[in-house]
Chain A
Amino acid sequence: MIVADPARLEGTLARLRDNGVALRERPADEVLGSLARLFDAFADHDSPAREALASVLPATTGFSAEMVREGLARGFDSWTGAALRELAAAEMGGTKGLASTRGFDVAAVVLAGAIPMPVLLSVAAPLLLRTPVLVKPSRHDPVSAGIVRDTLASIDTGLADCLESLRFEGELQGACLTALCGADAIEVNGSDATVATVRAQARDCTVIAHGHKLSVAALGPEAGADACERLALDIALWDQLGCLSPIAVYPVGTADPSEALAEALTRAEACWPRGRTPLASVAAAERELDQARMRGAKVLSGRTGSFNIVRELDAVPRLAPLHRFLRIHPVADADALLDALRPLQPHLACVALEGLGSSEPALATACAELGASRVCAPGEMQSPPLGWRRGGRGVLEPWVRP
C-alpha cells in the first residue's frame, strides 16, 4: 500500500475522477453483478478473500485468530450477492433505479476501527452508484481495504480501477486532509473530533459522517436460559471494539445475571480468546474496577483478566474501557430502563432485548425513538443485515448526488 502525500492524493483523485467517466457509462446491472460477486466472495467461508482476512487480521489488529474467524462468519455470512441485490432493490428500485440515479464524480472514505465488515460496505456503496472511491484505511486495520480491492480486481478490473487505497502517516490533518476533501463526497468514520475536523475542512464536499456509537442489552424475567451465553458472544466478538458490541446489560426487574454472564464469558474465552489489549486499556480497566470497589459495586473478573464485570448499584453511565468490560445496571421496570437509556440517546446504535414479555414491542419502539437503529435479540447484535439503516440512514441513499 502506498503512503499518501498531498500531491499523490490530488493525483489519485484526479485519476479516479477520470476513470469515473467510463464507470458511469457502464450498465448499472453489470456493476451490480460484479459487486454481488464481490459480496459472494466474502460470504463464502472457503474463498481466498475470507481466508486472506482470517489469516492477516490477527497479526495486524491483535484480535485472536479464533475470534476473527467467528466474527467474519457472523458478519459476512448473510451479506451475499443476493442480499446486495435486495438492498439495491429496496433503496434504489433495483438496476432500473440505479441506472437513472447519479452518484458523485469521485468520493473519499475515511475508515476507523479494526472490523472488516464496514470496510466492504463503505467501498461497495459508492461503487454501486458508479462513484469511484479513494479509501484511507484505519491505522488499526491497514489491510482489509487492500484485500477488498484485490478481490474486486480478480472479478472486474475496470471496477477495481475505480478503487484506490492510500495509507496515511499520522493524523488526518493539514494538506492531506485538504487534498482528500477535493473529492465530491467524503464518508468519515471515527470520533466526534475526527468528524468535526473533516466537516471544518470539507467546504464544497458532501460529508457522510458515522460517529462513534455504543450498544446495550436488556434482559427481563422471561429471558431464555441461554440468553447470557448469546450475550457473551456479542461481547466477545471484536473484543467490544465495534459499535454493535454491548458495553452494558440492564436486568429489568429480574435476578442479577452477573454470575451467569461471568461463566458464559469464561466459556467464550475458551472458544474465542480475547486478543491483544493495549497497556492503556488494561490500565483503564483496572482503574474502573478499583473505583467500582470503592463505591461498593461487585466486581467479577476472568482468571487472567480476560473479562471484567461490574455489577453497579445504579444506572449511571460510566466509562467503558472495552476489551470485554461489562457493566450490569439493575433497573426496576421498563420505565426505569428507558430513563437509564435516555442519557445514551445521541450515541445509541443497537439495543438487544429479551424476556420482557408484553412490554417488549413497546420497548423496542421506544429504543428506536431514542436513536437505536437496530433492536434485536441477544446473540444477534454482531450480525446486522446488509440493509441495516446505520444511524437511521440507508446504505446507498447517502451516495445519491443531492
Chain B
Amino acid sequence: MSADPARAALDGAILDWMREKHPASDDARFEELALRLFAFQFERCAPFRRLCEGRGRTPADVASWQGIPAVPTGAFKEMELRSFPAARETHVFRTSGTATRSRGELHLDTLELYEASLLPTFCAFLLPDLPDGGTLQHLFLAPAAREAPDSSLSHMFQVLADARGAQGSVFEMDVARMAERLAAADAPLCVCGTAFAFVHLLDHLDEQGEILALPAGTRIMETGGFKGRSREVPRPELHARIARSLGVGVERIVNQYGMTELGSQFYDSVLHAPGEPRRKLGPPWARARVVDPASGEDACEGQQGVLQILDLANTGSVLSVATADLGVRIADGFEVVGREPGAEARGCSIAADEMLAG
C-alpha cells in the first residue's frame, strides 16, 4: 500500500470495487473516483499537469470524467509518467518495440491494482461458464513472465495461470510443440496468445497439413496488432483461420483490447453476452470513449473517432489515455476499426515517424 495517504485511500476505494463478488457498473461511483484520481494525479504528475493546464482543464474546471484530458500513448515513450516518487518504483512494463522504435513504459509502484483488475475481467469475458474458483487448462502462446519481465502481457498470463490455470497449463513459444499439445488435448482449453503468434501457429499447421478439432468448450483469446511485423492479417481472416485449423467456432474466439499503458483490458463480448453483436466491453472501473478529435466530444454511434480509455486501475501513472486507434461505438461497447493510415495517404511528404523508424 502506498505511503501517500491520498493515494492509499484511492487505491483502497478502487480495490474494494474490483474485489466485490459481482462488481457492477455504477456511474456515480465511477465519476466520483475518476475526479478524485484526476485531482490527485494533477498534483503529482508534472507532465500531466502541464497537459491539463495547456488545455485549460484542471480539476477546478472539470466536473465530469469525460472532461479529464487524455494522455497520448506516445507520451509514455517520451517521458516517465509517475504519480509517485521514482524511488518507490517496483516494476516497469514496456511496449513491444524494435531497435529503431522507442518503447513506451508504464511505471508502477504496485501490481496490486493491475492484478485485481485483470482477474475478474478475464473471468467475466473468457471463463463465464466456470464456477467461482474453478480452473481450466490454459495454454499460453507467449513467453513466461520470467523470460519477459517487462511484458505486461506475460505478467497477466502468469497471474491467470496461477489463479485459474488447471494442471498442465504451460507457456509455449515453439509452435510445433504447441501444436502437439493442442492435438493431445482431451479436455476444454483456454488458449491465449498474441495475434502474430497465432499466425505462426496457423502457418505451421498449414505447412504440416494438420487440421485440429480442439475439445468442445475450448475458447481462444488473441490480442495485439501487427505493427512493425512483416505481415498483417485482418482480424476476421485470423479468426476464420483459427476456426478452420483449430476447430473452434468464431463465437468462441475473443479478441482482447489492451495495452501496456493501461491496467485494465477490454474483451470481445461473444462469451459474456452470446447472441449479441460482437463488441468490446470492459470492467466497471474502466470506460472507453470514441471521440471526434476535432471537437473533443463523443462521436455519434456508428461514427468513427479516436479511442480514449479512462482506467481507474492506473492510479500510479495517468488515468486517461488517448490511443492511436480509431473506433466506433456499438451499443454499450465499441469496436476498433483501425489505426492511423500510413504515409501513402498523407501524400509524398514523409512523416517523421517513418524517418525515425529508420
Binding site for B on A (CB under 8 A): 112-115, 118, 139-140, 189-194, 210-215, 238, 240-243, 245, 247, 278-288, 290-291, 293-296, 299, 305, 317-322, 343-344, 346-347
- Give 16 A-B contacts (CB < 8 Å), ordered by A residue: A112-B344, A139-B345, A212-B349, A214-B352, A240-B349, A242-B348, A243-B348, A245-B349, A247-B349, A278-B341, A281-B340, A283-B293, A283-B306, A290-B72, A293-B50, A295-B78
Q: Which interface class (under 10, 10 to 19, 20 to 34, 35 or more) fits B? A: 35 or more
B297-314 residues at the A interface, CB under 8 angstroms: 304-306
B interface vs A, CB < 8 Å? 47-48, 50-51, 53-55, 69-72, 74-75, 78-79, 293-294, 304-306, 322, 324, 326, 339-356
Measured in the bound complex, the distance between the Cα atoms of B95 and A79 in whole Å is 50
Inter-subunit contact B79/A295 (CB<8 Å):
yes
Q: Which 7 A-B pairs have the closest CB atoms?
A: A241-B347, A293-B54, A212-B350, A287-B72, A113-B348, A113-B347, A283-B293
Q: A242 and B293: CB pair below 8 A?
A: no
Q: Are A286 and B341 in contact (CB under 8 A)?
A: no
Q: Given the interface contacts A287-B324, A290-B71, does A214 sit within 8 Å of B349 by beta carbon?
A: yes
Contact of A347 among B53, B70, B340, B355 (CB under 8 A): B355
Closest to B338 in A: A280
Distance between B158 CB and nearest chain A CB, rounded to angstroms = 32
* Complex alpha-carbon distance, A280 and B79, angstroms: 24
Chain B interface mostly helix, strand, loop or mixed? mixed
Q: Indicate if the CB atoms of B342 and A321 lie closer than 8 Å.
A: no
The smallest C-beta distance from B125 to any residue of chain A, in angstroms, reads 27
Q: Which residues of A contact B324 (CB under 8 A)?
A: 283-284, 287
Q: Are B55 and A243 in contact (CB under 8 A)?
A: no
- Judge whether B294 and A282 touch: CB under 8 Å: yes
Taking a contact as CB atoms under 8 Å apart, the answer to whether A214 and B47 are in contact is: no
Least CB distance, B42 to chain A, in whole angstroms: 13
CA distance A343 to B106 in the complex (A): 28
* Contact pick for A320, options B306, B339, B351, CB 8 Å: B351
Q: Tell me the bound Cα distance from A247 to B356 in angstroms.
A: 15
* Cross-chain contact B344 with A190 (CB below 8 angstroms): yes
Question: Which chain B residue lies CB-closest to A214?
Answer: B350
Give bound CA distance, A317 to B306, whole Å: 25
Say yes or no: A213 contacts B349, CB within 8 Å: yes
Nearest residue (CB) in A for B70 is A290
Residues of A within 8 A of B69 (CB): 290
Q: How far is the CB of B341 from chain A (nearest CB, A)?
A: 6
Assembled-state Cα–Cα distance A279/B78 (Å): 24
Give bound CA distance, A86 to B322, whole Å. 53
Q: Which residues does chain A contribute within 8 Å of B350, judged by CB atoms?
A: 191, 211-214, 243, 320, 347
Complex interface: chain B residues within 8 A of A213 (CB): 348-350
Question: B351 — which chain A residues lie within 8 A by C-beta?
Answer: 319-322
Best-surrounded residue of A189, A210, A293, A317 (most CB of chain B within 10 A): A293
Partner of A112, one of B293, B339, B347: B347
B354 touches A192 (CB 8 A): yes
Determine which of A212, A278, A296 lies in contact with B348 in the assembled complex, contact meaning CB atoms within 8 Å: A212
